[in-house]
Amino acid sequence: MGGSRFSELQRGLSQISPTLLSKRLESLTQSGLVLKKRIPGQKSFEYFPTKSCLELLPIIRTLGDWGMRWARSNLTEKDYDVELLMVYLKRSIDPGKLVGKENVIRFKFTDIKKYPNWWLVVMGEEIDICIKDPGKDIDVYFTTSVKTMADIWIGDNNYRKAQRQGILKIVGNTALTQNITSWMSNSIFKDIPSAKEI
């Protein structure tokens, strides 16, 4: 999904401890699956998949297909993690499909009390996640629950249907709100039906 820094990998693997993640990355590096490179001018590192690792992607994709088909019907409310969702939404944005050099997307999640407001600030190719108001004009507002937004992202719902159901409100520039999936794609697993639908 494009994460290369330790903090990005940890956000995407929210159930793993920093210590265990460090051990796993070291093991993957020693096995030749990951290349560890120091970030120029910093003490921290970035981690990149090697050719051998990239050849595993079809297998990993197949495991993801299986999980989407057989495990997603077992999700409970506590399985919906706002921080993880925002990481995935950030990675799903195509800056080239947005209008202008800067775009700000605000999410207000109605089902959480601590940090209900999140912003994605897109400046050129850079995208930042903020939990504090960046003080910029908002281009698109989403008001919904974490579950609704996650369900849309994984393909169990869509923007128009959720709006008709009254569980999602989108306000903003029409050029951006009419076809959100043109600039913020859904999960690569969105077309995998749940086993309960088969």
User: The CATH number of the domain where 144 resides is what?
Assistant: 3.30.1050.10
| Cβ atoms 162, 148 nearer than 8 A | yes
Mean pLDDT of 79-104: 90
Residue 183's pLDDT band (cuts 50, 70, 90): very high
Residues 165 and 113 in one domain: yes
Is residue 100 located within the same domain as residue 171? yes
3 state SS of 75? coil
Higher pLDDT, 79 or 38: 38
Residue bearing the bigger pLDDT, 16 or 137: 137
Least confidently predicted of 55-64, 73-82, 88-97, 135-144 = 73-82
Would you say the pTM of this structure is higher than 0.85? no
Q: How far is CA 4 from CA 8, 10, 24, 193, in A?
A: 7, 10, 14, 30
Q: What is the pLDDT of residue 89?
A: 94
161 with 99, same domain: the answer is yes
Rounded to the nearest integer, the mean pLDDT of the chain is 90
Same domain, 160 and 103: yes
| 110-115: long-range pairs with CB below 8 Å, 24+ | 110/143, 110/144, 110/145, 111/145, 111/146, 111/147, 112/82, 112/146, 115/82
Q: Region 52-80: what's the mean pLDDT?
A: 83
**Residue span of the structural domain in which 145 resides:** 78-182
Quote the pLDDT of residue 157. Answer: 92
**Residues above pLDDT 90, as percent of the chain:** 61
pLDDT of the residue at 36? 94
- Residues pairing with 11 in the sheet: none
Percent of the chain with pLDDT over 70: 97
169 shares its domain with 112: yes
> Does a structural domain hold residue 106?
yes
pLDDT at res. 28: 93
